[in-house]
Amino acid sequence: MDLYPLFNSIRISLISTLIVFFMGIFSAYYISKAPRIIKIALDVLFTLPLVLPPTVVGFLLIKILGPNHLIGEFFLNTFGVRLTMNWWSAVFATMVVIFPLMYRTARGAFQSFDTTLSDTAMTLGLSGSYIFWKLRMPYCKQGIIAGTVLSFARALGEYGATSMIAGYTPGKTATISTTVYQLWRIGQDDLAFKWIIINIIISAVVLFFINLIETKYHHKEAQNGSLR
Amino acid sequence: MALYVDITKKLGNFTLNVKIATGSKSTALFGVSGSGKSITLKCIAGILKPDSGRIILNDRILFDSDKKINIPPQERNIGYLPQNFALFPDMNVSENIICGLQKHNRKERKSLCNDLLNRFDLYEIAHLYPHQISGGQQQRVALTRALATEPELLLFDEPFSSLDSLLKQQLGLDLLIMLKKFDGEILFVSHDKDEVCKLCESVCVIENGTNTNVKPLDAVLDCPKTISEALLAGIDNIGKISDSNLSEFGFIVDTEKSPNAKYVAIKSDSIKTDGSDCSIVFETVIVDIIRDSNKHYIICKANDKSKHLLVFTNDLNHCINEKITLSIDSKDIYYLK
């Protein structure tokens, strides 16, 4: 059994989760400080990929990154790089699809932050970046970790947009989800089942991990609650 | 040592317009919740930006809307203690205190922190996290952390509001002892008259976003001029005066000396029940008797329309519905605006 799809899926998910981790957190942080109208508009825009069908996301991505379109053409002409049909092309698709998950969990976590902590920290002479990394992030740690793990799990399961922008080339762009589809299409059900079991195990482990974080989170909240 | 504040700020329907000039070591802003006390403190600390005005601390301009000066909170050299103490939950006591030592380099911080832990008797809890220590200890840590910055001015926002009265009393004493060691100025916000009287030398009353001048505490206690000042002085009986100089309590008052007075205030212990000859003498009926732990009060009413009057008495033999003659000396009546 060729394990390339497993390796490729995990590679794509890790890279996209890492990028979206920072993008989601900073968007959530700066949107919380934006004027109300901008906040509402950006919130809708950033959450949209969560409810759109992945095929719509894939279609739009091809219309932007494809070799005959806007950015895709520019990259092909300038750097000689085709943005679609590579293993890393799937990163674009998974990034767009998981961004709302990271953004919304980070935003929820930041909203629970007690602003008197940052107010007081400022009067103590602590800088804005110190307050962000040493106070706000640890305070919102559990929420952000849960969001990151959930984003990773969703990236692993991404099929629609990925198959459109990266296609299915065995040993090159194949991921677990596209492999399962391909194996079913050509009637290799027994091999498809093996991949399905692998997929279920990974997802179950991830969900178990999220559960663990959440119980810990509630436990800590109860402790902190007694002093507020 | 002086703080000068003259600012306006609009927040929704509420407009803050305060003018404060302090002179003594400790000043209280006294007022009910929603009067604008906390907003004032946040403006002075630099957490909120006033719409216009000036804030000057010891000849240093912190905020001036005309000159477009707005010093960030980090550089104001002002300590701020919010109601919930705002200890950082993910840091232990030493780490919290080290946050207050930003002016010093990394090497000095550790030893300075140890000095402070010793000085304020926190050594035993240095490694504990805020949720593991008591409310009183949390307050001591928060104050130590604020004092570590060596501020010129220390701002307190209702430090005891969330504590029960026994703990409050103990903390009041702890706080007094700690603050004795502090050379800077203190501005203190409270709605509790006992707190204000215990901790402050001067006081300024704030109501609906505006305030009275800063006065020595003794002057306010001896001669209150507004309802808030009368409340601060612990006066129980406050009643309106009608156009015909009839007070709500049912006796005629002499408003010659203060023609603009709208209210009268009488302390419960300056009303005499022995029928002695004073400028005001009137008949009432006892409607209720209150036996406090060691005090004895009667509630009297002159007639059906008049307001209840709380009277302190040493005579334990009164009974409900008994008729009683009350007399008040004119010097014991305060006229309020």
Query: Are the Cβ atoms of A123 and B90 closer than 8 angstroms?
Result: no
Say which CATH superfamily domain A4-225 falls into: MetI-like (1.10.3720.10)
CA distance B147 to B184: 10
Query: Are the Cβ atoms of B76 and A123 closer than 8 angstroms?
Result: yes
CA distance B139 to chain A (A): 11
Residue for token pair 């991990």: A209
> Binning pLDDT at 50, 70 and 90, where does residue A224 land?
low
> Binning pLDDT at 50, 70 and 90, where does residue A228 land?
very low
Each residue's pLDDT tens digit, A141-178: 888 988 999 899 999 989 999 999 998 988 889 999 99
> Binning pLDDT at 50, 70 and 90, where does residue A215 land?
confident
CA distance B82 to B183: 20
Asked if the domains B3-232 and B240-336 are classified in one and the same CATH topology, the answer is no
> Binning pLDDT at 50, 70 and 90, where does residue A227 land?
very low
Residue A84 CB coordination number (10 Å): 21
The Cα-based distances of B79 to A144, A166, B156, B204, B257 in angstroms read: 31, 57, 8, 20, 45
Q: Best of B49, B106, B131 to disrupt the A interface by mutation (most A CBs within 10 Å)? A: B131
How are beta strands B78-81 and B153-157 bridged, if at all?
parallel
Architecture of the domain whose range is B240-336: Beta Barrel (2.40)
Range of lowest pLDDT (A17-21, A129-133, A211-215): A211-215
ipTM of the complex: 0.79
- Is the distance from CB of A210 to CB of A146 less than 8 angstroms? yes
How do the domains of chain B map onto residue ranges? 3-232, 240-336
Each residue's pLDDT tens digit, B211-262: 888 888 888 888 888 888 888 888 888 888 887 788 888 888 877 777 788 8
Stronger pLDDT, B207 or A9, i.e. the higher one: A9
Residue B244: what pLDDT?
Answer: 79
**A2 lies within 8 A of chain B by CB:** no
Residue A222, pLDDT above cutoff 60? no
Query: Are the Cβ atoms of B102 and A126 closer than 8 angstroms?
Result: yes
Each residue's pLDDT tens digit, A28-51: 988 888 888 998 999 999 999 989
Cα dihedral B244, B248, B254, B256, rounded to 10, equals -70
Residue B91: what pLDDT?
Answer: 92
The Cα-based distances of B68 to A123, B17, B42, B63, B287 in angstroms read: 21, 19, 19, 8, 61
The CA-CA-CA angle for residues A163, A169, A172, to 5°, reads 105
Residue A226: what pLDDT?
Answer: 42
Positions of chain B with pLDDT lower than 70, given as ranges: 1, 161-171, 293
Residue A59: what pLDDT?
Answer: 93
Query: Are the Cβ atoms of B99 and A119 closer than 8 angstroms?
Result: no
Q: Which residue of B has its CA nearest to A116?
A: B86
Query: Are the Cβ atoms of A119 and B86 closer than 8 angstroms?
Result: yes
Nearest to A139 by CA among B24, B131, B314: B131
**A224 lies within 8 A of chain B by CB:** yes
Chain A positions touching B113 (Cβ under 8 A) are: none
Query: Are the Cβ atoms of B88 and A126 closer than 8 angstroms?
Result: no
CA distance A124 to B148: 9
**A121 lies within 8 A of chain B by CB:** yes
**A137 lies within 8 A of chain B by CB:** no
CA distance A182 to A166: 14
- Is the distance from CB of A155 to CB of A202 less than 8 angstroms? no
Write the CATH number of the domain with boundaries B3-232: 3.40.50.300
Q: Which residue of A has its CA nearest to B155?
A: A123
CA distance B325 to B168: 40
